[in-house]
Amino acid sequence: MHHYIKDSNTGEDKNLGDDKNLGSYIRYKELRKKAQLQAMELIAVLFIFFILLSVGIYYYYQFQFTGIKETTERLSTEKLEVYLSAIINMPEFQCSARATKEICLDTTKLLLFKSSELAKTAILPKARITVKQIYPPKTALKECTLQDFNSPDFPDNCLYFTIKDFTLPEKKSIISNPALLYYPTKNLYALGLVIMEVA
Amino acid sequence: MRCNLIKSKKGDISQPFIFIFAIVAGALILTFLLWFARGHVRIESLKSSQEAAFYFDETLTLLSAGEDVYKSIDNPLKRKYEISCGTLKVEEGKPAKLNSIVFSPKQLSANKLSIYSKSILFPFKIANIYIISDPSKRYLFVYDERTKDLVESFKKDIRVKLPEIFNFQLISKQNLISTLNELTKQQITRFVLFTQLSQQDINKILQKFPNSDILLIDYQDGSGNLKFISKTSTADSNFFSLHMLFAAIFSQDQNTYECSKAQLLNKLKLLSKFYSQKASLLNSAFTNCPYPQASGVLNSIDISTLESLKSFKISLEEVNNILAGGNCAPLY
């Protein structure tokens, strides 16, 4: 007895031959189904594997970036602290008596620095840097300028010197260091603070 | 028909197919993991290099607090530092701008670095310079009868002593000539000659020590002239203070020395202008003080020759002494 089957591609009837051939055909169909299932399984496993791998990579990079960001922030803070302690030793601000180093800041240099050529080349951090007198206390609150310097009531007529101006957002952090200020025209010393404000 | 059926029996040949597929997929995943691990190592190494560069620069900035200080930096790992005129590169990291004026060999590869920081006064403080070397670089200072005291003072005299963290030895001219053959067994970076040698002897040194060079020094009372001699070139330069001489000794060559010296002299020029502004400011507060004279000296600075630099220093010292001696605030 001959068996026929409709070909799904051509629509024609296909002769499958006798019973023996029919058995082979059924076995072939079962195995193809099994192979298809196995292939599907494999694809599913690979799909899940790659999803898990992608999630892993994503979190790994997140972790890495957080680490790098934290290191950068830590180093930036350290750098600011180093700069803060270095300012007092910079010849641009430091007092000296006949080339002998004194641990103080020369206020005439502080007044002149911002508008000098040195300010363009000096390597200072991206921060607002000011020097404020804290003792003896002052009633004046304004920045010291060249006009204030030429006034007879200097240094009582102003409070602080700006070394570097920098536009800052509202949220900022402030670090400071005490320093001795020297007023050469009056031969006076006062206690001050070097203040660094950063975004 | 039968043949076609066998050909289409994918289920039967699926096992080898799975093996091949597993090998290909495994190889791909392994390649990916190796690539990933390599990337991770690269990122970590870059991070570590940048951190090392940061700490290097930070150490220099911190050393600026001292007038005359030295320090050794010890690294648990041997690192390769590349310093060239204001930039620092550690290993394969990005070159970082140095905030300090550094005189050193171009490449340093060691666990230990020797750093000497010295304030340069001319006559006011210009900046701190940093002389850097590593113990593997060996310098031989050659003296004669005329320069013996000077060269020995680099080892003994506390006022001009070169820190012992630097690897340098003293040898007399006679000893050098007589022991030249024995010295070839040793690694010498540079022969620093505080004496005159004949051209024949210089050629002999260059021939016997192919990896070394020569620095010829004509020292005259704190300043002088230099000649950098290598197998391929000869270049002249000068120094205006003893510490600038030390700077030249440990610099890679005339180019790197001149580059860092130019940075220093440029700062001197800017500071002179700044002190001139200070003199004008003080002039309004102190009448009858020679601030205009001081301004004149400061504005006339000429950094092009050694003589003009010396004359600037003397003139400014004179006027500052007058200011300090009277009822005037000194400039520096």
Residue B212 and residue B191: Cα distance in Å, rounded?
7
Token look-up 């296909």 returns A14
The Cα–Cα gap between A163 and A71 comes to 28
- Shortest distance, CA B226 to any CA of chain A (angstroms): 27
Please tell me the distance in Å from A65's CA to the nearest CA on chain B: 11
Contact across the interface for A85 and B284, Cβ inside 8 Å: no
CB contact under 8 A, A91 and B5: no
CB–CB contact B125 A17 (8 Å) = no
Q: Do A105 and A181 meet the contact criterion of CB atoms below 8 Å apart?
A: yes
CB spacing of B281 vs A94 below 8 angstroms: no
pLDDT given at position B1: 47
DSSP B209: -
pLDDT digits (tens, 9 = 90+) for A182-194: 999 998 999 999 9
Q: Is the predicted pLDDT of residue B11 greater than 80, yes or no?
A: no
Q: Report whether A192 contacts A132 (CB < 8 A).
A: yes
What pLDDT shows up at residue A112? 96
The answer to whether B271 contacts A92, with C-beta atoms less than 8 Å apart, is yes
Which phi and psi angles does A68 have, rounded to 5°? -65, -40
Beta pairing, strands B139-143 & B190-193: parallel
Best of B19, B99, B328, B331 to substitute, by most chain A Cβ atoms within 10 angstroms, is: B99
Whether residue A85 and residue B62 make contact (CB cut-off 8 A), yes or no, is: yes
What confidence tens digit (pLDDT) does each residue in A21-65 have? 777 878 877 877 887 888 788 889 889 988 998 999 899 889 988
Q: Do A92 and B43 touch (CB under 8 A)?
A: no
Q: Is the peptide bond before A136 cis (omega within 30 degrees of 0)?
A: yes
Predicted-complex ipTM score: 0.81
Q: What is the mean pLDDT of residues A129-133?
A: 96
Q: Per-residue pLDDT for B13 more than 60? A: no
Question: Rounded to an integer, what distance in angstroms lies between the CA atom of residue B176 and that of residue A15?
Answer: 106
| Residues in chain A closer than 8 A to B61 (CB atoms) | 82-83, 86
The string of DSSP codes covering B262-311 is HHHHHHHHHHHHHHHHHHHHHHHHSTTS-HHHHHHHHHT---SSHHHHHH
Residues of B in contact with A121 (CB under 8 A): 266-267, 270
CA distance B271 to B268: 5
Which strands sit side by side in the sheet containing B168-172, from one edge to the other?
B168-172, B139-143, B190-193, B213-220, B223-229, B234-239
DSSP letters along B85-141, please?
A: TTEEEETTSPPEE-SSEEE--SEEEEEEEEEEEEEEESSSEEEEEEEEE-TT--EEE
Q: Is residue B192 within 8 Å of B216, Cβ to Cβ?
A: no
Q: How confident is the model at residue B12 (pLDDT cuts 50, 70, 90)?
A: low
The set of long-range contacts for A30-34, using a CB threshold of 8 Å and a minimum separation of 24, is: A30/B11, A31/B9, A31/B10, A31/B11, A31/B12, A32/B8, A32/B10, A32/B11, A33/B11, A34/B11, A34/B14
The predicted model scores a pTM of: 0.83
Q: Do A31 and B11 touch (CB under 8 A)?
A: yes
* pLDDT score recorded for residue A73: 87
Please give, one letter per residue, the 3-state secondary structure of B253-266.
Answer: CHHHHHHHHHHHHH
Q: Looking at the partner chain, which of B11, B123, B125 has a beta carbon nearest the beta carbon of A35? A: B11
Of 3.10.20, 3.50.50, 2.30.30, 3.40.50, the CATH number of B138-249 is 3.40.50
What is the separation of C-alpha B256 from the centre of its chain, rounded to a whole number of angstroms? 8
In a mutagenesis test of the B interface, which of A116, A144, A189 is the best target, namely the one with the most B β-carbons within 10 Å? A116
Q: Which residue of B1, B25, B64 is in closest CB contact with A86?
A: B64
Angle between helical axes of B242-250 and B254-285 (0-180°, round to 10): 150
Residue in this structure with the two tokens 């394969």, named with its chain if needed: B92
Alpha helices in chain A (DSSP H): 19-87, 107-113, 118-121, 146-150
Using pLDDT thresholds of 50, 70 and 90, give the confidence band for residue A161: very high
Interface probe with B: pick from A3, A4, A31, A76, most Cβ of B within 10 Å: A31
Q: For residue B288, which phi and psi values (nearest 5 degrees)?
A: 60, 25
Contact indicator for B90, B80 with CB cutoff of 8 Å: yes
pLDDT per position as a tens digit, B291-323: 999 999 999 999 999 999 999 999 999 999 999
pLDDT of residue B110: 86
Residues in chain B: 332
Q: Using an 8 Å CB-CB cutoff, list chain B residues near A42.
A: 18, 21
Nearest-Cα residue of chain A relative to residue B13 = A35
pLDDT tens by residue, B146-190? 999 999 999 999 889 999 999 999 999 999 999 999 999 899 999
A34/B11 CB distance under 8 A:
yes
Using the predicted structure, report yes or no on whether residue A3 has a pLDDT greater than 80. Answer: no
Per-residue pLDDT tens for B263-297? 999 999 999 999 999 999 999 888 889 999 999 99
How do strand B190-193 and strand B213-220 relate by DSSP bridges? parallel
Q: Where are the domains of chain B?
A: 138-249, 263-325
Closest by Cβ to A91, choosing from B1, B8, B127? B127
Count chain A–chain B contacts defined by CB atoms under 8 A. 119
Nearest-angstrom CA–CA distance, A22 and A4: 9
**Percent of chain B predicted with pLDDT > 70:** 96
Q: Do residues B101 and B260 touch, judged by C-beta distance below 8 A?
A: yes
Instruction: Report the residue of B9, B40, B280 to disrupt the A interface, i.e. the one with the largest count of A CBs within 10 Å.
Output: B9
Which pLDDT score, from 0 to 100, does residue B257 have?
Answer: 97
